[in-house]
């Protein structure tokens, strides 16, 4: 058994254990932390496969950004945590942070646009185009980008459509809870009360 | 190639139907936010126009021909793809037509979201049935599933709807896991996700040696499990009745036809087209699935008293007949299967279209009792239901008979008579429960004092007739009052949808030739 195999088994065991942890912990924060561990293991798997860029992105996006959001929501929703004043102070801090980060992001995009970063001309070079040739010639990130926006453009775009569908679905299910309670508190003539009145007798039927 | 493949305008032209449908879905979403609430009903017209223009562009793609695949072999526009796209778009159009009246009765406010999600799900079905790469098949499946999870739970404030959405989400995610694992193993064995490359690899490595066989075969089994869940084949059917019952009926109709079409076409592409060289390896599995599904679906359906649930079990049974087309492993089988899909789409959406007229709140009020005496109250509605049920049972003169005949004869020609024998026995079982509804509609009245009619009486109460008055009047007056108050209004769209479905069921039943010829051409038979 060589070093790579040992690393694989150790990582695999950790990934599975942390995956179980996500659903087994009763405390939501522990679950979120196990998820971070799980995503980190995946990043290491990518690293073992020489996909350096993918590993970095996995850590940045999933273990970093998305998990911070998760933890933030978990902390916000925990009933005993935080009174209104904390939330207000958080909100002010958040605004400041959002403005600062927004300026940085706009600056970064502006720099990219102005400096006209382009693909290296070798990207379209002919000749052998298997994975390792391209990686050695253009580098890991370039190879990833080239594959993503040439051969695998359609799956990439379809993924974004799936995200649109998921967002729309989340909005439908999320907004309904608030509008539903608003309706029952509001005028009794709303059409929403129709089916729930009709369901009374049918529920007895069952 | 993956690094230098250049996307051309022709590539985008290939997916014109999918792009059209997606564009209209986004358009509906945006217009919805700008319209005042009273005008939102008009969104269904935009959605329908979108479906029709998608169908037109599918025909255009078929006319123009050109290269069979696009986007680095991700997607194909061969005959099978065009035919299944038209089946899915037809089903979507029929399901959209019956939606407005139902939405109004169930008190659904979010009309724009409803139509946008239906169109997004249909886009996913189109992508899945035209995919020629494992990756695209999975993405298409996810794009069709995600909107359906939400649509199943769409009726607000109903526990049964939430149960439906939640159950579908959990079990379906589980099945997606199986599917993805299977795809990963097949990729590991063959080193390719493109179906063409997989075919080439398997064909050049025949017979399979012991280093390759376990990985590939386990992968294939997992893929079959994942997709069998989506077509609700037994033993992966347990979610179907609960999900179908709690979902809004137009969604159930779309789900039962569209998802089946997309998943079966994808399964056919993987097994018959890509893994054709190892037919003998996967065939026993498919034959077992088909036999179990045909017998089990029909036996379970026969015990149901709720018509919506019964149609759910009947859709399981039809998945069994459809699986015969793949199990025989021939092109003729595939032609029979896609013809069956077209026929099944027409008659099944028709049947659900009648059920949604009868249904009160989602999932309730579709008991067999509610169909008693329908022939006297609403002769046209009962007549349409009779046509659909006879077609589902496979009575000659309807398209259902031709479809069953095509599938069974394909099985005999491929020397698998056992599938035909089981299929015929299963069809005979199905006569019992289809005919029982017809019997209830025409030959049974609601006898007063029968405990089974309490539901009807509760309906009277709910509709505003004071129960005391009903109790005190004479017998005939009661029946008269009941028949007036229980007459269900049919929305214009539903009437159009049912009319079209009845016409198609009968005309295609008498003159199936042209459509069957198209189905044969679609799979490349002369």
Quick one: closest CA in B to A130, which residue?
A: B1
pLDDT (tens digit, 9 = 90+) per residue, B159-185? 899 899 999 999 999 999 999 999 999
- Distance between CA B36 and CA B335 in Å, rounded? 47
- Please state the domain extents for chain B: 10-444+491-522
CB proximity B155 to A under 8 Å: yes
For B:114-133, CB contacts with A below 8 A are 116-117, 120-121, 123-124, 127, 133
Q: Is the dihedral of CA B172, B174, B177, B179 positive or negative?
A: negative
Model pLDDT, residue A177: 56
- Please report the number of interchain residue pairs, chain A to chain B, with beta-carbon separation below 8 angstroms: 145
Quick one: closest CA in A to B106, which residue?
A: A195
Lowest mean pLDDT among B307-311, B342-346, B368-372: B368-372
- Are the CB atoms for A165 and B127 separated by under 8 Å? no
Model pLDDT, residue A85: 53
Model pLDDT, residue B321: 95
For B:315-374, CB contacts with A below 8 A are 360-362, 364-365, 367
Instruction: Tell me: pLDDT of B287 over 80.
Output: yes
Q: A129, B3: Cβ pair inside 8 Å?
A: yes
Contacting residues for B414 by C-beta, under 8 A, at least 6 apart:
B328, B329, B330, B332, B333
Kindly list the residues from chain B whose CB atom is less than 8 angstroms away from the CB atom of residue A124.
4
- Among B139, B142, B158, beta carbon nearest to A199: B158
- Among B29, B106, B133, beta carbon nearest to A168: B29
For B:191-230, CB contacts with A below 8 A are none
State the Cα torsion B149-B154-B155-B156 to the nearest 10°: 110
Model pLDDT, residue A86: 56
Q: Annotate B140-167 with DSSP letters as a single string.
A: HHHHHHHHHHHHHT-STT-HHHHHHHHH
- H-only helix segments in B35-110: 43-64, 79-97, 99-106
- Are the CB atoms for A42 and A58 separated by under 8 Å? yes
Q: B458, A168: Cβ pair inside 8 Å?
A: no
DSSP secondary structure code for residue A60 in this structure: I
- Distance between CA A43 and CA A40 in Å, rounded? 5
Q: Which tokens sit at A42?
A: 């995946």
Kindly list the residues from chain B whose CB atom is less than 8 angstroms away from the CB atom of residue A204.
458
Q: B153, A173: Cβ pair inside 8 Å?
A: yes
* Average confidence score pLDDT of chain B: 88
Instruction: Tell me: pLDDT of A182 over 80.
Output: no
Closest-CA distance of chain A to residue B365, Å: 7
CB proximity B111 to A under 8 Å: no
Average pLDDT over residues B293-314: 94
CB proximity B181 to A under 8 Å: no
Model pLDDT, residue B172: 94
- Are the CB atoms for B145 and B119 separated by under 8 Å? no
Lowest mean pLDDT among A102-111, B172-181, B282-291, B390-399: A102-111
pLDDT (tens digit, 9 = 90+) per residue, A35-68? 989 999 999 999 988 888 889 988 898 878 888 8
Which CATH number is A1-79's, of 3.80.10.10, 3.30.1130.10, 1.20.120.1200, 1.10.3720.10?
1.20.120.1200
For A:45-104, CB contacts with B below 8 A are none
Cα→Cα distances A91→A69, A96, A97, B52, Å: 15, 9, 10, 48
Q: Which tokens sit at B129?
A: 């049935």
Model pLDDT, residue B35: 86
State the Cα torsion B302-B306-B307-B309 to the nearest 10°: -80
Average pLDDT over residues B199-204: 92
pLDDT (tens digit, 9 = 90+) per residue, A153-171? 999 999 999 999 999 998 8
Quick one: closest CA in B to A197, which residue?
A: B462
Cα→Cα distances A87→A84, A145, B503, Å: 5, 41, 63
Instruction: Tell me: pLDDT of A187 over 80.
Output: no
Q: Is the dihedral of CA B183, B184, B189, B191 positive or negative?
A: positive
Kindly list the residues from chain B whose CB atom is less than 8 angstroms away from the CB atom of residue A145.
none
Percent of chain A clearing pLDDT 70 (strictly above)? 69
Q: A197, B462: Cβ pair inside 8 Å?
A: yes
Instruction: Tell me: pLDDT of B66 over 90.
Output: no
Give B56: exposed, middle or buried? Use CB within 10 Å, 0-12, 13-18, 19+: middle
- Among B5, B105, B458, beta carbon nearest to A204: B458
Closest-CA distance of chain B to residue A97, Å: 31
Grade residue B39 by pLDDT with cuts at 50, 70 and 90.
Answer: confident
Grade residue B446 by pLDDT with cuts at 50, 70 and 90.
Answer: low
Closest-CA distance of chain A to residue B363, Å: 9
For B:135-154, CB contacts with A below 8 A are 135-136, 139-140, 142-143, 146-147, 149-150, 153-154
Instruction: Tell me: pLDDT of B459 over 70.
Output: no
CB proximity A35 to B under 8 Å: no
β-bridge partners, B306 = B367
Closest-CA distance of chain B to residue A151, Å: 4
Contacting residues for A198 by C-beta, under 8 A, at least 6 apart:
B360, B361, B462
Grade residue A206 by pLDDT with cuts at 50, 70 and 90.
Answer: very low
Q: A198, B361: Cβ pair inside 8 Å?
A: yes
Instruction: Tell me: pLDDT of B255 over 70.
Output: yes
pLDDT (tens digit, 9 = 90+) per residue, A97-154? 888 988 988 888 787 767 655 544 444 444 456 677 777 777 778 888 888 888 899 9
Q: B109, A192: Cβ pair inside 8 Å?
A: yes
Q: What is the pTM of this model?
A: 0.83
For A:165-184, CB contacts with B below 8 A are 165-166, 168-169, 171-173, 175-176, 179-180
Contacting residues for B105 by C-beta, under 8 A, at least 6 apart:
A194, A195
Percent of chain B clearing pLDDT 90 (strictly above)? 66
Q: B458, A201: Cβ pair inside 8 Å?
A: yes
Percent of chain B clearing pLDDT 70 (strictly above)? 92
Residue indicated by tokens 């799980």: A38
Residue indicated by tokens 């003159």: B511
């Amino acid at each position: 058994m060589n070093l790579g195999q040992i690393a694989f088994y150790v990582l695999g065991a950790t990934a599975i254990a942390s995956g179980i942890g996500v659903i087994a912990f009763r405390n939501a924060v522990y679950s979120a932390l196990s998820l971070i561990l799980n995503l980190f293991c995946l990043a290491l798997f990518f690293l073992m496969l020489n996909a350096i860029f993918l590993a970095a992105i996995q850590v940045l996006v999933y273990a970093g950004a998305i998990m911070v959001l998760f933890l933030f929501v978990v902390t916000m929703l925990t009933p005993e945590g935080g009174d209104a004043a904390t939330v207000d102070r958080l909100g002010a801090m958040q605004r400041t942070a959002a403005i600062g980060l927004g300026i940085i992001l706009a600056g970064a995009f502006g720099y990219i646009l102005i400096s006209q970063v382009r693909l290296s001309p070798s990207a379209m070079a002919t000749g052998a185009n298997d994975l390792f040739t391209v990686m050695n010639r253009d580098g890991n990130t370039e190879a990833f980008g080239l594959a993503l926006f040439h051969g695998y453009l359609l799956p990439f775009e379809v993924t974004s459509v799936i995200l649109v569908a998921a967002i729309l679905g989340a909005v439908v299910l999320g907004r309904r809870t608030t509008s539903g309670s608003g309706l029952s508190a509001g005028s009794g003539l709303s059409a929403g009360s129709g089916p729930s009145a009709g369901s009374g007798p049918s529920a007895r039927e069952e | 190639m993956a690094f230098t493949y250049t996307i051309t305008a022709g590539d985008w032209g290939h997916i014109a139907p999918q792009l059209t449908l997606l564009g209209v879905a986004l358009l509906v979403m945006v217009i919805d936010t700008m319209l005042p609430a009273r005008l939102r009903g008009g969104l269904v017209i935009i959605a329908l126009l979108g479906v029709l223009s998608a169908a037109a562009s599918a025909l255009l793609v078929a006319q123009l021909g050109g290269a069979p695949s696009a986007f680095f072999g991700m997607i194909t526009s061969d005959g099978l793809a065009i035919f299944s796209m038209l089946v899915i778009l037809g089903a979507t159009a029929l399901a959209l037509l019956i939606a407005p009246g139902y939405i109004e009765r169930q008190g659904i406010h979010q009309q724009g979201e409803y139509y946008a999600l239906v169109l997004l799900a249909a886009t996913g079905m189109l992508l899945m049935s035209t995919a020629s790469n494992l990756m695209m098949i999975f993405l298409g499946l996810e794009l069709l599933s995600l909107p359906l999870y939400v649509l199943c739970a769409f009726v607000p404030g109903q526990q049964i709807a939430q149960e439906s959405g939640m159950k579908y989400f959990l079990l379906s995610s589980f099945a997606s896991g199986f599917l993805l694992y299977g795809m990963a193993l097949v990729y590991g064995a063959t080193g390719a996700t493109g179906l063409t490359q997989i075919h080439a690899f398997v064909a050049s490595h025949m017979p399979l040696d012991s280093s390759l066989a376990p990985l590939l075969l386990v992968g294939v089994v997992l893929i079959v499990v994942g997709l069998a869940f989506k077509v609700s084949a037994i033993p992966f059917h347990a979610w179907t009745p609960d999900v179908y019952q709690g979902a809004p009926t137009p969604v159930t109709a779309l789900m039962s036809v569209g998802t089946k079409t997309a998943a079966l076409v994808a399964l056919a592409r993987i097994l018959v087209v890509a893994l054709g060289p190892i037919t003998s390896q996967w065939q026993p599995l498919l034959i077992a699935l088909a036999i179990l599904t045909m017998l089990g679906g029909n036996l379970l359906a026969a015990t149901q008293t709720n018509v919506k649930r019964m149609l759910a079990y009947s859709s399981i049974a039809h998945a069994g007949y459809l699986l015969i087309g793949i199990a025989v492993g021939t092109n003729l089988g595939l032609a029979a299967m896609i013809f069956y899909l077209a026929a099944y789409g027409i008659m099944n959406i028709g049947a659900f279209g009648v059920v949604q007229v009868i249904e009160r709140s989602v999932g309730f009020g579709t008991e067999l009792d509610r169909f008693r005496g329908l022939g006297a109250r609403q002769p046209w509605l009962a007549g349409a239901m009779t046509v659909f049920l006879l077609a589902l049972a496979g009575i000659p003169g309807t398209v259902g008979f031709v479809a069953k005949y095509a599938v069974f004869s394909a099985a005999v020609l491929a020397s698998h008579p056992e599938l035909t024998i089981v299929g015929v026995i299963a069809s005979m079982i199905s006569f019992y429960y289809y005919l029982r509804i017809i019997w209830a509609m025409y030959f049974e009245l609601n006898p007063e004092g029968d405990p089974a009619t309490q539901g009807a009486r509760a309906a009277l109460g709910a509709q505003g007739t004071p129960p005391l008055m009903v109790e005190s009047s004479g017998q005939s007056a009661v029946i008269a009052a009941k028949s007036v108050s229980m007459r269900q209004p049919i929305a214009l769209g539903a009437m159009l949808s049912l009319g079209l479905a009845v016409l198609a069921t009968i005309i295609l039943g008498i003159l199936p030739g042209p459509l069957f010829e198209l189905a044969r051409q679609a799979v490349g038979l002369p």
